[in-house]
Chain A
């Protein structure tokens, strides 16, 4: 086929991809994501795992090693089917933390360590470069096989084709991979183009397969027979190699930068994973379906010595199926370009965020902190990184001469890249994993890989001498690169994987156990390991003592003026503040940091915010130490606060107690003074009259009798007073013994009326009662209750000032409560005095009027309390009115 047609079709195909990418990008920008976010697109984008290595190399692999090529696809299949929860954890963390690449993931996990980020980036670049070279080589090879070389072109001039392919891919990647600065604003255009390419390569391989099975071999039965007869089925299965390769491919699926890019960074929806977990293995199965038939038919059909890596293309060509060959060419082209584009995007993000930006930050700090436009710098560094990555791949391709078999280059790459696996998986599940452990483990594993696999693979006498390869450096046998520690005879890949993973994991564990994680590491570790636990969102920032304006200035440089202003404005609104400057709450700083991390990576974003936060170049460790100290001081001061509150409370209690004591003391003084008065008054009369009687003055007999009578009465009064006082004191102390017995209420009232008759003998005192209602049997201290009744009736007799004094005694019962009201028709007790009459010595009238001691009602009150009831003044009854209430057993009525 003519060179021009092949070039033309290739260009047309690229143009179609451009249009697809452009349309998808425009659609996404307008917010109409629709099918762009379908799980199908996500699954198809994962197919970049199947590169030209799969497309062309699988057949070659099968020809050389039989069924072993399947291991490369069994690894990811097992991972997708059995371990998709691990992927889900990765995706969740990636979204939560706005992770931009696998280097960012590991750097974030270990305290946003810039060193780790740089190391992972270096490994990724070293591991991916041969792989990119491999893609370029496959395109060039297929081109060379397919197109008639123009007149004047020698085979060495094919490098021009490679160069043009590299340049074209650079342009495409720059155009669609660096449109958005924020790597987390997904590359919808690129992903859609990749999905289209995934379909093309699958269709192409299936078409060749169908042509081979039914067009050449003549059906399934014949094909199976051919396979059985071919040497391919005779290749024995090497168990250790199978195990190693399955593990290796599964691990590489996780660790390859481009896989991380489509799996985690470009993931729109966590649920897409569950679709991909069955759909992607199906895709892998489909794409491998016809590998064996093509290999077998190719071996039969083509002359010995033909490159089996190109059977997919050369078989249709040999049968003069030009259109099919063209489809195959485009399929291979798709497989190669999609891998290169995504790998270049992923690597450029890593290089830019973990190498260029940190170096620039250091330089800027050295220059005294004048900040430039980060936005432009980041974009420029990404674009240059893409060009550099492709240039490296091109260079590798030229230097290595494109001689090695495709599968071998792929496996070497895999081994290098999976050296980040222990740090990655360990960081997801083990909170004790530290930065030191991750660094040391990864470095050791990387070193073993370089020493045991990478350098020897370049060939004897290039870097390592043949002597050294055979017998170890300086003849030290146990350091022989492909037989470490005296274990010879292992396959180089198995050997490298065994030792590198073993040493890597051991050093990682020991290093983690031996070192102490910094505060930020602990925070991040908890967030990663516990990503599925809700609410666990420890804060990286404790204080917000910075001018928001400084942060805005910085954010504008990185996010772009409008995005930054919108972010700040929205936050200010959310905080309920006017203007566009929000308070620097930890929430906001955290969010800002994440926004920035989407553009420049977590470590750089943290360092930037930190620089503004502190105004000087303080390390994260210092900052966290200060935060720890602050937390301690806050804890201490809150303890002090608690103490002082407690003291205050105690003081208040003491004051109350003191007030009570003071009041009690005043009451006691008043009481003593009252007692004194009440005792001295009768004694005064007694002394005065006895002195008169003793003075020997002439007194009439009448006078003598009268004065003796006064002395007698006053002595009686004194006795009553002392009795009342003692009674009250006994009641108040609760020492009074209650003697309960049954009695009928009516009898008690009768007794009270009878024993007070003498008090009102001179006037007619009417007492009205309703005797039937008084037929209630009580069980109580009868004498005490009688004492209360007597007191109340006596008070009425003594103090009722009506012309026709009358006392109403009304009994009523409601539920379990009995009330007896004593209401007279006198002038009653003034409202102001109603509160004090039950106090001791609260006698209202003068002692001269009657001979009470002023303790009667006080005693009544004490008695009723002791009997479980009460006595109270009833206002608004016309005269003086008292109500006695007490509990009474239900339905007990005297006959």
Chain B
């Protein structure tokens, strides 16, 4: 069975790269770029895991994460946060909000797959 991953990211090249490596690894990949409707999309699509970028247009990743944790359906949904702002306080903030995993860009492709696998228990 293919695990379903929802990619919340706005940088087209990064979307393409992640979609490519995850598809090759056998994941079902969905993608969404607008921060404002991100929570709805997650609720609607019910993915197994979410890859969340911090810098999304219209709404930042931290707010989206807080909303996800606040609603029952997604309260325990595994979320991997990716950020280009490699600052320690961003990691702390994400952990306080209940993030499942945290990685900074640029990342190693293998590591992303590794993390996602462990999050969905594959």
Task: Specify whether A and B are partners.
Answer: yes
Hey, which bits of chain A sit against chain B, CB under 8 A? Answer: 673, 676-689, 691-692, 695, 697, 710, 713-714, 845-848
CB of A69 to closest CB in B, whole Å? 116
CB of A723 to closest CB in B, whole Å? 20
Q: Are B14 and A684 in contact (CB under 8 A)?
A: yes
B57: which A residues are within 8 A, CB to CB?
845-846
Contact partner of A691 (CB less than 8 A), chosen from B33, B105, B109, is: B109
Per-residue interface assignment for chain B, residues 14 to 28, with 1 indicating a CB less than 8 Å from any chain A CB and 0 otherwise: 101110110010000
CB of B35 to closest CB in A, whole Å? 10
B14: which A residues are within 8 A, CB to CB?
681, 684-685, 688
Q: Are B87 and A673 in contact (CB under 8 A)?
A: yes
Highest count of chain B CB atoms <10 Å: which of A684, A692, A710, A847 = A684
Contact partner of A681 (CB less than 8 A), chosen from B105, B107, B108, is: B105
Q: Are B21 and A692 in contact (CB under 8 A)?
A: yes
Nearest CB to that of A847 among chain B residues? Answer: B11
Contact partner of A685 (CB less than 8 A), chosen from B17, B33, B86, B110, is: B17
CB of A740 to closest CB in B, whole Å? 41
Interchain Cβ contacts under 8 Å between A and B, 24 examples: A677-B55, A680-B85, A680-B106, A681-B11, A681-B14, A684-B11, A684-B14, A684-B17, A684-B105, A684-B107, A685-B14, A687-B106, A687-B107, A687-B108, A688-B107, A689-B13, A689-B17, A691-B21, A691-B108, A691-B109, A691-B110, A692-B17, A692-B109, A714-B13
Nearest CB to that of B87 among chain A residues? Answer: A673
CB of A673 to closest CB in B, whole Å? 5
Hey, which bits of chain B sit against chain A, CB under 8 A? Answer: 10-14, 16-18, 20-21, 24, 33, 55, 57, 84-87, 104-110
Contact partner of A848 (CB less than 8 A), chosen from B11, B18, B107, is: B11
Please measure, in the bound complex, the distance between the C-alpha atom of A413 and the C-alpha atom of B17, giving whole angstroms: 132
Nearest CB to that of A688 among chain B residues? Answer: B17
B106: which A residues are within 8 A, CB to CB?
680, 683-684, 686-688
Extra inter-chain contacts (20) besides given A710-B16, A846-B10, CB under 8 Å? A673-B87, A677-B55, A677-B84, A678-B84, A679-B84, A680-B84, A680-B85, A683-B106, A685-B13, A686-B106, A687-B106, A687-B108, A688-B17, A688-B21, A689-B17, A692-B20, A695-B109, A697-B24, A845-B57, A846-B57
Please measure, in the bound complex, the distance between the C-alpha atom of A781 and the C-alpha atom of B101, giving whole angstroms: 52
Contact partner of A677 (CB less than 8 A), chosen from B20, B85, B108, B110, is: B85
A847: which B residues are within 8 A, CB to CB?
10-11
Highest count of chain A CB atoms <10 Å: which of B11, B18, B108 = B11
A679: which B residues are within 8 A, CB to CB?
84
Please measure, in the bound complex, the distance between the C-alpha atom of A541 and the C-alpha atom of B55, giving whole angstroms: 78
A688: which B residues are within 8 A, CB to CB?
14, 17-18, 21, 106-107, 109
Q: Are A681 and B84 in contact (CB under 8 A)?
A: yes
A681-B105, A687-B107 are contacts. A846–B33 as well, Cβ < 8 Å? yes
Q: Are A848 and B21 in contact (CB under 8 A)?
A: no
Q: Are A710 and B86 in contact (CB under 8 A)?
A: no
Please measure, in the bound complex, the distance between the C-alpha atom of A687 and the C-alpha atom of B21, giving whole angstroms: 13
Please measure, in the bound complex, the distance between the C-alpha atom of A677 and the C-alpha atom of B16, giving whole angstroms: 19
B86: which A residues are within 8 A, CB to CB?
676, 680
B17: which A residues are within 8 A, CB to CB?
684-685, 688-689, 692
Please measure, in the bound complex, the distance between the C-alpha atom of A682 and the C-alpha atom of B84, giving whole angstroms: 10
Nearest CB to that of B55 among chain A residues? Answer: A677
Please measure, in the bound complex, the distance between the C-alpha atom of A123 and the C-alpha atom of B55, giving whole angstroms: 108
Please measure, in the bound complex, the distance between the C-alpha atom of A678 and the C-alpha atom of B21, giving whole angstroms: 23
Q: Are B10 and A848 in contact (CB under 8 A)?
A: yes
Please measure, in the bound complex, the distance between the C-alpha atom of A683 and the C-alpha atom of B11, giving whole angstroms: 12
Please measure, in the bound complex, the distance between the C-alpha atom of A673 and the C-alpha atom of B87, giving whole angstroms: 8
Please measure, in the bound complex, the distance between the C-alpha atom of A695 and the C-alpha atom of B10, giving whole angstroms: 25
Nearest CB to that of B82 among chain A residues? Answer: A684
Please measure, in the bound complex, the distance between the C-alpha atom of A676 and the C-alpha atom of B86, giving whole angstroms: 7
CB of B103 to closest CB in A, whole Å? 10
Chain A to chain B: the 4 pairs with minimum beta-carbon distance, closest first: A688-B17, A680-B84, A685-B13, A684-B105
A714: which B residues are within 8 A, CB to CB?
13
B104: which A residues are within 8 A, CB to CB?
680
A710: which B residues are within 8 A, CB to CB?
13, 16
Please measure, in the bound complex, the distance between the C-alpha atom of A679 and the C-alpha atom of B85, giving whole angstroms: 10
Highest count of chain B CB atoms <10 Å: which of A685, A687, A845 = A685
B20: which A residues are within 8 A, CB to CB?
692
B16: which A residues are within 8 A, CB to CB?
710
Q: Are B12 and A680 in contact (CB under 8 A)?
A: no
Nearest CB to that of A710 among chain B residues? Answer: B13
CB of A713 to closest CB in B, whole Å? 8
A681: which B residues are within 8 A, CB to CB?
11, 14, 84, 105
Please measure, in the bound complex, the distance between the C-alpha atom of A681 and the C-alpha atom of B84, giving whole angstroms: 6
Highest count of chain A CB atoms <10 Å: which of B20, B55, B84 = B84
Q: Are B84 and A676 in contact (CB under 8 A)?
A: yes
Nearest CB to that of A703 among chain B residues? Answer: B20
Please measure, in the bound complex, the distance between the C-alpha atom of A848 and the C-alpha atom of B109, giving whole angstroms: 21
A684: which B residues are within 8 A, CB to CB?
11, 14, 17, 84, 105-107
